[in-house]
Structures are given as structure tokens and as C-alpha cells.
């Protein structure tokens, strides 16, 4: 499961594992925040005992900082996998040269990757990396970035099959995944437009990728991982739980969230999840508004108690994009002259490590 800002917290990871997810990473954390010991970051690197793998996703723009951060994540927090994210398309990050546009500066990108791998190697921990097809159609970077990853010992590369300019819009270009698979000897993980179990199987067959990564498709539907597992076994019966069953999963999620955090913060986080879980159900505007302000588990339980449990799942929602969407960007915001050359080792772009989101 891919990281999604404000989403892949401990409780949701636990749920996804319950439904068969293979590896779940936490929300993307900046290397700098790990090094300075930010309290929020410490909380984000806390794992439940039931999680089978402690996978920490980091974002960094400075090789020395990423070196130290990887060591801390492993030695102090028990990380068993480090995942580097270079897919963020957020303008406030790319305008400083960070996120999905950083791999354009190949020397800086190589230095960061090398620092992460060497730091993790001291503990025998693998490092994976996620990137995008390119900045835009005129500036591809996945092949160059993939070769750097191969040279520097990255264990696997995940490709979000969109450009930075696309952000989360349009269709993912699975042909790009096939191209990267053909170009590299290391495993390639495909990402983009996995909305149903059959989509995962189709991506594997069409691209030859080693695995699939699911992001937005699991929002409000953690059972998608069970559908994917079934599809891999030749079973194509998409789960369509009725309202009562969805309500049970939602309340279970809320209870896990409150146990991992506290009721105030846990329920504030659950508001967006509740609307994702109940998307398409005939709730009415007043109930949806109330759900957007819910502050206690018992309040959530009472709000949903009077709806009939046998209301059918809204099958019209199947196969549709979920979560962040929006349109493509006419121009990717970058530092002046960013595309003129591929050299960036002497640039100071460390201030992009503030308040970034996943890619």
C-alpha cells in the first residue's frame, strides 16, 4: 500500500494488513524531521505489534541528512524497510526543486540514493524508491532515475505511472511501467489506477511488473486487498459489503485509531475516512455534515445506528477514482533554469523538507 498524506496511519495500516496487504508504509516523513526528533514525526514512526513489517517512508533533499535519518529510523525505531519517495507533485515542493522534479538533477539524486542505501546497508535493511514517469511529456526521467537506483543498490523501484504535470489526473500510463521493466534488472513495482482486484492482475500481466502498489483505491475500501488476493488466485468476486458490514469496518477502524492516538485526534482523522467508507450510500446531506464534525466513537456509532444494515453497496462506485484528483498542470512550478542541465549537487534545496505530502 502506498503512502497517502494524513491517511496511512497505524490504524489504517493494521486494517489493510488484516485484509491481506503485503507491505504497508507509513505517511511520508521528511529526513530533517527525523534528525531533529520532531514529536509528530516520532508518533508517525510508531508501529503496532500486529504489523508484520515496519516500513518507513522518507523524503530527503540532502545526502548527509538522509544518511543520518535512515540510521535513526532503523536503529531507534526498528525500521525493517526504508522507502524513498520522489513522486510528490505539490507546487510548494517542486518550486524549490524537491519532490518529483528532484531526480532531474541526476548527481544530487544519485548522492541521496547512495547515502540512503549505504546507511541502511550497515543494518542489512533494504531500500526501495518511488518516482514518476517524468516532469512532463517533454522531460522524462524514469529511465535515468531507474539506472541510478540499479547502480546504487536500490532493492526495487516503484513507478507511479503519471508525470508530475499530471499530478493525480487522467489515466496512468501502464506502458511506461512495461518500458521500465524492460530497461532494468531490478524489480519494478507498478502504481496507478488500481481500483479493483482485476486491475492489479491486469497490470501484472500487461506490464510484467513484479508487484503492484495501491494508493487511493484503498480509501474507504481496505477489503480491496482481499479482492486483489482473490484475483491472483483466479477468483473475481468483488466484495460489495452492505451498509451494516461497512459500518462494522468503519467502527473497527475508528476504535483502532483512537487506541493508537487519542479520541480527539483519532476521531478528527476519522472524519475523512468515514466519508470515504460511506461514499455512494444514501445518507442524506444532514448526516454527511454531521459525520464531517464527529468527535467521539460513540457519536459515530449513534449517527449510523438508525440506518438499515441491509442497504446494498453502491456498485456504481466500483472502478471509479477515489481521493485526490484534480486536473493536469499546464506548467510544473520549478526553480528558474531547473531544466537547463542535470546537475544539482551544489544546490541548497533543503527547505523543501517542510510539510510535504505523498506522491
Query: Domain residues for 280?
Result: 243-309
Pair 159, 299 in one domain = no
Same domain, yes or no: 166 and 248: no
How many structural domains compose the chain?
2
> Residue 333 domain-assigned?
no
| Amino acid 5: pLDDT | 46
Residue whose C-alpha is closest to residue 264's, from 295, 294, 289: 295
Q: How confident is the model at residue 200 (pLDDT cuts 50, 70, 90)?
A: very high
Which residues are tagged catalytic? Answer: 88
* Model pLDDT for residues 133-160, shown as the tens digit of each residue: 999 999 999 999 999 999 999 999 999 9
Same domain, 253 and 106: no
**CA dihedral angle for residue 29, residue 300, residue 52, residue 125, rounded to 10 degrees:** 0
344 occurs within a structural domain: no
Same domain for 58 and 73: yes
Q: Are 110 and 250 part of one and the same domain?
A: no
Neighbour-count burial for 291-313, b at 16+ CB within 10 Å, e otherwise:
beebeebeebeeebeebeeeeeb
- Domain boundary among the residues 193, 221, 236 is at 236
- How large a percentage of the chain has pLDDT more than 70? 95
Instruction: Round to whole Å and give the CA distance between 293 and 303.
Output: 11
What is the per-residue pLDDT across 56-115, written as a single tens digit (0 to 9) for each? 999 999 999 999 999 999 999 999 999 999 999 999 889 989 899 999 999 999 999 999
Reported pTM = 0.94
* 181 and 107 within one domain: yes
- Give the Cα separation of 232 and 198 in Å (integer): 8
Mean pLDDT of 215-221: 95
Task: Give percent helix, percent strand, percent coil of the chain, each to the nearest 5.
Answer: 45, 10, 45
Mean per-residue pLDDT for 237-260?
A: 96
Do 195 and 295 fall into the same domain? no
In a domain, 158, yes or no: yes
Amino acid at each position: 500500500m502506498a503512502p497517502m498524506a494524513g491517511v496511512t496511519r497505524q490504524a489504517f495500516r493494521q486494517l489493510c494488513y488484516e485484509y491481506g496487504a503485503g507491505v504497508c508504509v507509513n505517511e511520508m516523513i521528511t529526513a530533517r524531521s527525523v534528525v531533529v526528533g520532531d514529536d509528530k514525526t516520532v508518533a508517525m514512526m510508531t508501529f503496532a505489534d500486529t504489523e508484520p513489517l515496519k516500513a518507513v517512508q522518507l523524503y530527503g533533499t540532502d545526502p548527509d541528512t538522509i544518511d543520518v535519518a535512515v540510521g535513526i529510523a532503523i536503529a531507534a525505531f526498528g525500521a525493517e524497510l526504508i522507502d524513498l519517495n520522489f513522486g510528490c507533485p505539490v507546487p510548494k515542493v517542486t518550486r524549490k526543486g524537491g519532490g518529483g522534479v528532484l531526480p532531474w538533477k541526476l548527481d544530487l539524486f544519485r548522492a541521496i540514493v547512495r547515502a540512503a542505501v549505504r546507511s541502511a546497508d550497515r543494518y542489512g535493511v533494504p531500500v526501495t524508491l518511488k518516482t514518476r514517469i517524468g516532469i512532463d511529456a517533454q522531460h522524462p526521467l524514469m529511465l535515468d532515475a531507474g539506472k541510478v537506483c540499479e547502480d546504487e543498490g536500490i532493492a526495487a523501484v516503484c513507478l507511479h505511472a503519471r508525470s508530475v504535470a499530471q499530478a493525480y489526473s487522467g489515466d496512468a500510463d501502464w506502458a511506461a511501467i512495461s518500458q521500465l521493466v524492460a530497461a532494468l534488472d531490478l524489480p519494478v513495482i507498478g502504481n496507478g489506477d488500481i481500483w479493483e482486484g482485476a486491475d492489479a492482475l491486469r497490470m501484472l500481466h500487461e506490464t510484467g511488473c513484479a508487484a503492484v502498489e495501491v494508493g487511493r483505491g484503498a480509501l474507504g475500501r481496505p477489503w480491496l486487498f482481499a479482492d486483489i488476493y482473490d484475483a491472483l488466485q483466479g477468483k473475481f468476486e468483488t466484495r460489495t459489503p452492505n451498509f451494516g458490514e461497512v459500518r462494522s469496518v468503519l467502527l473497527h477502524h475508528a476504535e483502532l485509531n483512537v487506541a493508537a492516538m487519542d479520541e480527539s485526534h483519532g476521531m478528527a482523522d476519522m472524519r475523512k475516512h468515514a466519508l470515504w467508507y460511506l461514499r455512494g450510500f444514501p445518507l442524506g446531506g444532514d448526516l454527511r455534515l454531521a459525520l464531517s464534525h464527529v468527535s467521539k466513537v460513540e457519536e459515530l456509532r449513534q449517527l449510523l445506528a438508525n440506518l438499515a444494515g441491509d442497504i446494498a453497496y453502491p456498485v456504481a462506485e466500483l472502478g471509479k477514482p477515489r481521493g485526490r484528483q484534480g486536473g493536469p498542470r499546464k506548467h510544473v512550478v520549478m526553480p528558474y533554469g531547473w531544466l537547463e542541465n542535470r546537475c544539482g549537487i551544489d544546490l541548497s534545496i533543503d527547505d523543501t523538507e517542510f510539510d510535504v505530502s505523498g506522491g
